[in-house]
């Protein structure tokens, strides 16, 4: 089966894990700090804080920026559910915003402006599929309305500028991301004081770590906030350091494969639309396409699976999930809903080559042709 996403792990990662085990220190230590510095350098920022997941990072970013009960946060519905869940975790209310267009599935600035109220405190942007929103427009919007700007950059590791659009940015290193630590994430922030709060909240609000106390660099600790256990361990950081060195080449491969997909799809499946036609910075995390209106997506996915090609959907609209539908009834986002009805995610990862892209495109063309013939009959 040609998978939608597949991690690249090998002997270097095994050796890095073995070195941690041999060293005997497996929790927060030197490797975590080295990974934080290396990742910050990759993103072009002074520092970062490694965390247990991007969800944890988003939660920490909101908490560090003072978002809480009574506040509203503008969020897209075309995203993974963690983007909205963390808003509830801090006691705030997510307000769902439409996308610009099915061909540009990033949060609509116009719809966001229409939904600002006296309780709106923040905007949560999402770098969907690894594509960056317009930084200048969103910064101006946030400044005009006095809002905090948080970037869910889970899809965009390795892209210069990602995570720096607003006050804080959060990255994911989950197993299906462009680089992985199995579970894990990182937070960056414009204001060093905000990053310090993230750092402190990550480890129970404690002022020193176990390693600092054991090494004699601290005799005790204080607790200055009711924090969380959102730390990254040495094993994950060791994998991350190996993966991070490979990330630029992997992202370049993803870019090349995406370009090849666009060319092949235009030739073999001209009725398929590929979002993000206009050039913009991207990590090319996933390969979303829009099926023609009226096509039975489950049948297309079944046909591709029979040909050995896995597909997925990114994403079902959050406001359609039972919890959010019942808590926030009556939400209508026509462009998000149109996008979600037609979107299909094709395989995209560095283990693929041009022949794999051709395999996927041929399988998709057959599936569409079969449906057209069935409708004609």
Structure tokens at 153: 């950059």
First to last CA, the chain: 31
Q: Rounded to whole angstroms, how far apart are CA atoms 163 and 154?
A: 9
Place of tokens 């439409």: 98
267 class by beta-carbon count within 10 Å (0-12 exposed, 13-18 middle, 19+ buried): exposed
* CA 64 vs CA 28, 195, 205, 241, 329: distances in Å: 21, 8, 12, 26, 30
Q: What are the beta bridge partners of residue 51?
A: 185, 231
The continuous run of DSSP H or E covering 358 comes out as helix 354-376
Q: What are the beta bridge partners of residue 312?
A: 345
Pinpoint the alpha helices (H) of 177-229.
192-202, 210-214
**Whether the Cβ atoms of residue 96 and residue 333 lie closer than 8 Å to each other:** yes
Cβ neighbours of residue 127 closer than 8 Å, sequence gap 6 or more:
133, 151, 152, 153, 154, 155, 156, 159, 162, 283
**Catalytic status, residue 351:** no
* CA 8 vs CA 169, 252, 256, 275: distances in Å: 25, 15, 17, 26
Q: What are the beta bridge partners of residue 369?
A: none
DSSP letter at 270 equals: T
Pick the catalytic residue from 14, 177, 253, 351.
177
User: Which SS3 state, helix, strand or coil, does residue 53 take?
Assistant: coil
**Whether the Cβ atoms of residue 64 and residue 58 lie closer than 8 Å to each other:** no
Q: What is the DSSP string of 68-97?
A: -TT-EEEEESSS-THHHHHHHHTT-EEEEE
What count of other Cβ atoms lies within 10 Å of the Cβ of residue 47?
17
Active site positions, annotated? 177
């Amino acid at each position: 089966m040609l998978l939608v996403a597949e991690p690249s792990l090998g002997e270097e990662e095994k050796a890095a894990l073995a070195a941690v085990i041999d060293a005997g220190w497996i929790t927060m230590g030197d490797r975590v700090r080295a990974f934080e510095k290396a990742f910050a350098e990759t993103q072009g920022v002074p520092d970062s804080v490694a965390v247990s997941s991007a969800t944890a990072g988003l939660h920490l970013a909101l908490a560090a920026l003072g978002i809480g009960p009574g506040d509203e946060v503008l969020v897209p519905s075309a995203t993974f559910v963690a983007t909205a869940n963390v808003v509830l975790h801090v006691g705030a209310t997510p307000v769902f915003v439409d996308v610009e267009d099915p061909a540009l599935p990033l949060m609509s600035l116009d719809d966001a402006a229409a939904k600002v109220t006296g309780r709106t405190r923040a905007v949560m942007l999402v770098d969907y599929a690894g594509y960056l929103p317009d930084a200048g427009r969103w910064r101006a919007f946030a400044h005009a309305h006095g809002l905090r700007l948080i970037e869910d950059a889970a899809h965009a590791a390795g892209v210069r500028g990602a995570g720096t659009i607003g006050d804080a940015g959060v990255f994911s290193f989950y197993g299906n991301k462009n680089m992985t630590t199995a579970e894990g994430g990182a937070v960056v922030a414009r204001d060093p004081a905000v990053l310090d709060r993230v750092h402190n909240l990550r480890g129970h609000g404690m002022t020193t770590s176990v390693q600092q106390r054991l090494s004699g660099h601290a005799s005790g600790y204080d607790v200055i906030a009711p924090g969380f256990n959102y730390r990254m361990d040495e094993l994950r950081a060791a994998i991350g350091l190996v993966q991070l060195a490979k990330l630029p080449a992997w992202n370049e491969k993803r870019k090349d494969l995406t370009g090849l997909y666009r060319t092949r799809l235009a030739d073999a499946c001209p009725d398929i639309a590929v979002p993000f036609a206009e050039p913009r910075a991207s990590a090319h995390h996933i390969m979303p396409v829009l099926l023609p209106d009226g096509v039975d997506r489950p049948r297309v996915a079944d046909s591709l699976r029979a040909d050995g090609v896995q597909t997925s959907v990114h994403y079902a609209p959050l406001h359609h999930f039972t919890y959010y539908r019942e808590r926030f009834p009556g939400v209508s986002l026509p462009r998000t809903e149109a996008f979600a009805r037609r979107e299909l995610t094709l395989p995209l990862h560095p283990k693929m080559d041009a022949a794999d892209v051709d395999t996927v495109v041929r399988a998709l063309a057959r599936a569409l042709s079969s449906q057209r013939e069935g409708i004609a009959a």
